[in-house]
């Protein structure tokens, strides 16, 4: 009996205990990239808010969610201090810090011909209320294309199950190729931040901040947490698959 007790203790020490009853040989480390920077803000919302502000908030919420789970304690934000990093350096930093996957968080815009204008707080602002929804991108040119595609598909599934609907306005625009309409998954093979990665990498657009309607939803803490929960569930399922 003592032998089996000791073997059980050794097994727990070796594999580690985790929330949800899963046991993994090592921590799973997620590198979260805040899209853009304070000096290169990305898109500007229908109400004049920089995309970077939205990205940073969601990245911080996702990191907090992940770090509540012992399996993901080593997860981190690549550009937490707001440095203006090059696109290729972001996945490189993630790899140097031992990340198992790279997730770049963004908020979306539309194409110039899709814009109209409205007046918000006395200012004329660009707006487009024709489209709404998330989108998911991966590159077939990165070091782990099959795993990147798998991660994108799991994220897409979790988003649908959480009640989110993708946007299709990127379909076959430029180098963006729509590969799954129901999940909003695109290949974007030449996007540097994705194709430079030697680990599984996905860029997630949370929604369209050029939409005056969706911008309000994207600022709602309840929706933010619901989206974070879906991303977390997707990461858990992906990590469990990789650990088999």
User: Residue by residue, what is the 3-state secondary structure of 161-197?
Assistant: HCCCCECCCCCCCCCEEEEECCCCEEEECCCHHHHCC
Q: Look at phi and psi of residue 174 and say left if phi exceeds 0, alpha if psi is from -120 to 50, else beta.
A: left
- Domain count of the chain? 1
Q: Which residues contact 184 (CB under 8 A, 6 or more apart)?
A: 133, 134, 135, 136, 156, 159, 165, 166, 167, 168
Asked if residue 48 is part of any domain, the answer here is: yes
Q: Which residues contact 73 (CB under 8 A, 6 or more apart)?
A: 27, 67
Q: How far are the Cα atoms of 19, 86, 90, 121, 239 from residue 28, in angstroms, in the given order?
A: 13, 25, 18, 46, 7
- Structure-block tokens of residue 36: 């853009």
CATH code of residue 85: 3.40.630.40
Asked if residue 13 is part of any domain, the answer here is: no
Asked if residue 183 is part of any domain, the answer here is: yes
Q: How many Cβ atoms from other residues are within 10 Å of residue 24's Cβ? A: 16
Answer yes or no: are the C-beta atoms of 200 and 152 closer than 8 Å: no
Asked if residue 12 is part of any domain, the answer here is: no
Asked if residue 8 is part of any domain, the answer here is: no
Residue 138 pairs with which residues in a beta bridge?
A: 187
**Phi/psi of residue 206, each to 5°?**
-70, -30
Per-residue pLDDT of the chain (244 residues; tens, 9 = 90+): 444 433 443 343 333 444 444 455 469 999 999 999 999 999 999 999 999 999 999 999 999 999 999 999 999 999 999 999 999 999 999 999 999 999 999 999 999 999 999 999 999 999 999 999 999 999 999 999 999 999 999 999 999 999 999 999 999 898 999 999 999 999 999 999 999 999 999 999 999 999 999 999 999 999 999 999 999 999 999 999 988 7
Q: How far are the Cα atoms of 80, 87, 207, 226 from residue 40, in angstroms, in the given order?
A: 15, 12, 19, 28
- Tell me how far apart the alpha carbons of residues 70 and 30 are, in angstroms, rounded to a whole number: 12
Residue 176 pairs with which residues in a beta bridge?
A: 188
Helices (H), 25-127: 51-67, 89-96
Asked if residue 173 is part of any domain, the answer here is: yes
Specify the pTM.
Answer: 0.90
Asked if residue 132 is part of any domain, the answer here is: yes
Domain coverage including residue 230: 27-242
Q: How many Cβ atoms from other residues are within 10 Å of residue 216's Cβ? A: 12
Asked if residue 20 is part of any domain, the answer here is: no
């Amino acid at each position: 009996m003592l032998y089996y007790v000791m073997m059980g203790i050794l097994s727990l020490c070796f594999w580690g205990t985790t929330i949800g009853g899963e046991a993994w040989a090592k921590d799973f480390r997620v590198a979260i990239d805040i899209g853009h920077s304070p000096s290169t803000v990305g898109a500007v919302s229908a109400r004049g808010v920089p995309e970077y502000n939205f990205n940073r908030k969601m990245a911080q919420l996702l990191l907090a969610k992940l770090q509540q789970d012992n399996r993901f304690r080593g997860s981190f934000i690549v550009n937490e201090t707001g440095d203006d990093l090059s696109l290729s350096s972001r996945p490189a930093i993630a790899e140097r810090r031992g990340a198992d996957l790279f997730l770049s968080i963004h908020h979306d815009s539309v194409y110039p011909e899709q814009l109209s204008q409205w007046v918000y707080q006395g200012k004329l602002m660009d707006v487009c209320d024709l489209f709404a929804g998330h989108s998911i991108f991966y590159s077939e040119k990165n070091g782990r294309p099959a795993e990147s595609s798998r991660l994108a598909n799991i994220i897409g599934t979790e988003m649908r199950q959480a009640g989110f609907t993708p946007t299709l306005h990127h379909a076959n625009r430029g180098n963006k190729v729509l590969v799954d309409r129901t999940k909003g998954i695109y290949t974007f093979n030449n996007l540097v931040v994705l194709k430079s990665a030697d680990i599984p990498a996905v860029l997630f657009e949370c929604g369209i901040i050029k939409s005056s309607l969706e911008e309000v939803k994207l600022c709602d803490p309840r929706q933010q947490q619901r989206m974070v929960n879906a991303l977390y569930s997707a990461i858990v399922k992906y990590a469990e698959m990789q650990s088999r």
